[in-house]
Amino acid sequence: MPDSVITQLSDLRQHALTRIAACTTPAELKELEIFLLGRKSQFTSLAQVLPSLAPEDKKHFGQTLNEVKTALTLAFKEKSEALGEVVAEIPIADSTLPGNRPELGHLHPTTKVIRSINHFFHYLGYSVYEGPEIETDEYNFDKLNLPLDHPARDLADTFYISEPERLLRTHTSSVETRAMSHEQLPLRIVVPGKVYRNETSNVTNNSMFYQYEGLVIDKGLSLADLKGTLVAFAKFLYGKDVVTRFRCKYYPQVEPGAGFDIQCTFCSGDGCQVCKYRGWVEVLGSGMVHPNVLRNCGIDPDQWSGFAFGMGLDRLVMLKYKIADIRKLYNGDLVVEDKS
């Protein structure tokens, strides 16, 4: 057997052990293992000499070959375990280092107003009630004293999904009829939510907007209870100096009905584009729940009475934050106007 082959094995072993000891990462160690013991490695080339040796040399060479491979395999294993321990000791993150402060946004003005109003009515004992935005004709119109041939239906400009039964709700009053039909009495709820109407977008109108409604069903209620609630609400939202007024107004689902106005906060009653030069902005409609509505929902009007109110929430937001165009609330424009 040529001595040069044994010498090459000895040199390979020494060189490999030195390189294994110098590895600093598991990836580097794995790459070295392939280089030293892989199919195209020097070790594999030397092992292929074995079949060509004389029978008397095969035993000694084979034994030396196995010793070298065993030594290298053990060295790789021990180094891999050592590197694994080092990696485990390295912390994933150093909590003592200063962090990167994320860029924070702000709550949408509509969300802030909804939360504020919810807080006020929660103090008065109201619960927040929700319902589907895809509604049935029964809850959106029929139960609200709006039968199929009622002319007030034309004012709703309804988006129908499957005419005439399925539609996008035109008001959150549909949630009130659901509550009256399925909840136990007495009832005291508020309903914030999106509604949809086929309207051309302009400064004060949009095809999607928010409404906020309230409903109370109890025994012995009167218009005085409604008026006291709404005046207290206006002072909560706009301050104690807010000027309000009630006007007689027709709504099919209430009798008597009243419009509730506040003096325009943009012009202090002098007249401007926002209030359409009237000096007043109607913020909600209200009234005593119509006996027909109570009957439609399975409630005896001789035992129970109630009042309801519903407002275009976007108009309240515009008045509170002095936003002159309703479209700015939902167009996704992040540009901040410079008013300096």
For CA atoms 228, 230, 236, 242, the dihedral sign is negative
Domains recognised in the chain with CATH numbers:
3-89 (no CATH), 109-329 (3.30.930.10)
Which helix (DSSP H) or strand (DSSP E) does residue 308 occupy?
strand 305-312
Q: How far apart are CA 58 and CA 9, in angstroms?
A: 14
Quote the tokens at residue 140: 């959106």
Quote the tokens at residue 225: 């209870």
Strand order, beta sheet including 134-136: 134-136, 166-168, 160-162
Quote the tokens at residue 311: 């407002």
Residue 103's SS3 state is coil
Give residue 62's pLDDT band: very low, low, confident or very high (50, 70, 90).
Answer: confident
Residues 204-260 have pLDDT tens digits of 778 899 999 999 999 999 999 999 999 999 898 888 888 999 999 999 999 999 999
Q: What is the pTM of this model?
A: 0.64
Give residue 90's pLDDT band: very low, low, confident or very high (50, 70, 90).
Answer: very low
* Other Cβ atoms within 10 Å of 195 Cβ, number: 24
Q: How far apart are CA 60 and CA 246, in angstroms?
A: 112
**Highest mean pLDDT range out of 2-6, 97-101, 286-290?**
286-290
Give residue 93's pLDDT band: very low, low, confident or very high (50, 70, 90).
Answer: low
